[in-house]
Amino acid sequence: MSVLEVKNLHVSIEDKEILKGVNLTMKTGEIHAIMGPNGTGKSTLSAAIMGHPSYTVTEGEILLDGQDVLEMAVDERARAGLFLAVQYPSEIAGITNAEFMRAAINARKPEDDKISVMNFIKKLDDKMAVLDMPEEMAERYLNEGFSGGEKKRNEILQLMMIEPTFAILDEIDSGLDIDALKVVSKGVNAMRSENFGALIITHYQRLLNYVTPDVVHVMMNGIIVKTGGAELAKRLEAEGYKGIRDELGLDI
Ligand code: ADP
Ligand code: MG
Ligand code: MG
């Protein structure tokens, strides 16, 4: 079992404090969701975990199995088993989707145990079939000319191919129609195992109808104000964030 711990995390962007002491512990085998209004720091949390250079950690710790993640460079974090699917994946010309994924898989493997081309292709075919993706998408340059829905599906394909220990999925559901949402959910559910944990960041309860979280956190104004089970997401859908604000007497 692996554990990802975020302890009293404070993060600033350009001297403005965005995260004000976030605490979160996730174990493999669990799917967590973070919900919260726009602008509360959800993407800031995922960026800080992955080591985005614009986000400055001013206080607190991030530990992966006790190892100091904040000391690691971005590629080391990925090799250590962290994966971030972003809201707006970037386009990279000159490297195909398949090349990217094979390199990412091999980066996590020892020199004498790289994935063979045959095994890679077989795995890719299997995963693309689960996600209803046309074969040619593997040979296209990474995210170049992909539609919004294709990019999201491709993020899930990368997730399934790279098999990280922990994945952070930042608004993977935004802009998806219902069919694409079901496909994305199928991919996430297929990843569920004792060796995998996910943190799903979302505005909407909709995705959580298809991927049932074990733990739901509500973030407001840079901190986690409430944690519960899947029923908390349903309650947010029914009451909006106002219900939580009223209950906790929050003026934010
Ligand atoms: P969420 O993902 O919950 O919508 P974000 O983490 O994206 O929230 O943003 C949190 C806050 O940080 C917002 O107030 C936003 O305006 C601010 N912010 C985000 N990115 C930047 C940036 N590059 N420069 C300055 N402020 C930013
Ligand atoms: Mg946002
Ligand atoms: Mg965001």
Q: Residue 180: in which H helix or E strand, if any? A: helix 178-191
Q: What percent of the chain has pLDDT over 90?
A: 68
- In the three-class reduction of DSSP (H, G, I as helix; E, B as strand; rest coil), residue 68 is classed as strand
Query: Does 132 fall in a domain?
Result: no
Query: Does 142 fall in a domain?
Result: no
How far is it, in rounded angstroms, from Cα 109 to Cα 195?
16
- Residue 252: pLDDT band (50, 70, 90) is low
Mutate to test the pocket of ligand 1, among 10, 14, 19, 43 (most ligand atoms within 8 A of CB): 43
- pLDDT of 220 reads 95
How far is it, in rounded angstroms, from Cα 163 to Cα 191?
8
Output the CA 178–ligand 2 centroid distance in Å.
Answer: 21
Domain count, the chain: 1
Query: Does 86 fall in a domain?
Result: yes
Surface-to-core class of residue 203, CB atoms within 10 Å of its CB (0-12 exposed, 13-18 middle, 19+ buried): middle
- pLDDT of 126 reads 95
Q: What is the pLDDT of residues 3-36, one digit of tens each?
A: 999 999 999 999 999 999 999 999 999 999 999 9
Surface-to-core class of residue 245, CB atoms within 10 Å of its CB (0-12 exposed, 13-18 middle, 19+ buried): middle
- pLDDT of 7 reads 98
Range of the domain at 170: 3-90+163-248
What distances in angstroms separate CA 201 from CA 40, 45, 47, 216, one per listed residue? 12, 10, 12, 10
CATH number at residue 190: 3.40.50.300
Query: Does 223 fall in a domain?
Result: yes
How far is it, in rounded angstroms, from Cα 231 to Cα 38?
21
Whether ipTM tops 0.90, in short, is yes
Q: Does the beta carbon of 223 sit less than 6 angstroms from any atom of ligand 1?
A: no
Q: Does the beta carbon of 112 sit less than 6 angstroms from any atom of ligand 1?
A: no
Q: What is the pLDDT of residues 28-44, one digit of tens each?
A: 999 999 999 999 999 99
214 DSSP 8-state letter: S
Q: Does the beta carbon of 168 sit less than 6 angstroms from any atom of ligand 1?
A: no
Closest CA to 226 of 252, 206, 187, 197: 252
| Neighbouring residues of 27: CB distance < 8 A, sequence distance ≥ 6 | 1, 2, 3, 4, 197
Mutate to test the pocket of ligand 1, among 11, 12, 18, 217 (most ligand atoms within 8 A of CB): 18
Q: What is the pLDDT of residues 65-124, one digit of tens each?
A: 999 999 999 889 989 999 987 656 677 778 888 998 999 899 889 999 999 999 999 999
Q: Does the beta carbon of 222 sit less than 6 angstroms from any atom of ligand 1?
A: no
Query: Does 125 fall in a domain?
Result: no
Angle between helices 148-162 and 178-191 (to 10 degrees): 10
How far is it, in rounded angstroms, from Cα 89 to Cα 152?
8
- pLDDT of 124 reads 95
Query: Does 175 fall in a domain?
Result: yes
pLDDT (mean) for 50-69: 96
Q: What is the pLDDT of residues 191-238, one digit of tens each?
A: 999 999 999 999 888 899 999 999 999 999 999 999 999 999 999 989
Query: Does 59 fall in a domain?
Result: yes
Task: Answer whether 130's CB lies under 8 Å from 156's CB.
Answer: no
- pLDDT of 86 reads 67
Query: Does 34 fall in a domain?
Result: yes
Length of the chain: 252
Ligand 1 atom closest to residue 222's alpha carbon, by position in its atom list = 10
Question: Strand order of the sheet with strand 215-220?
Answer: 82-85, 166-170, 197-202, 31-35, 215-220, 223-228
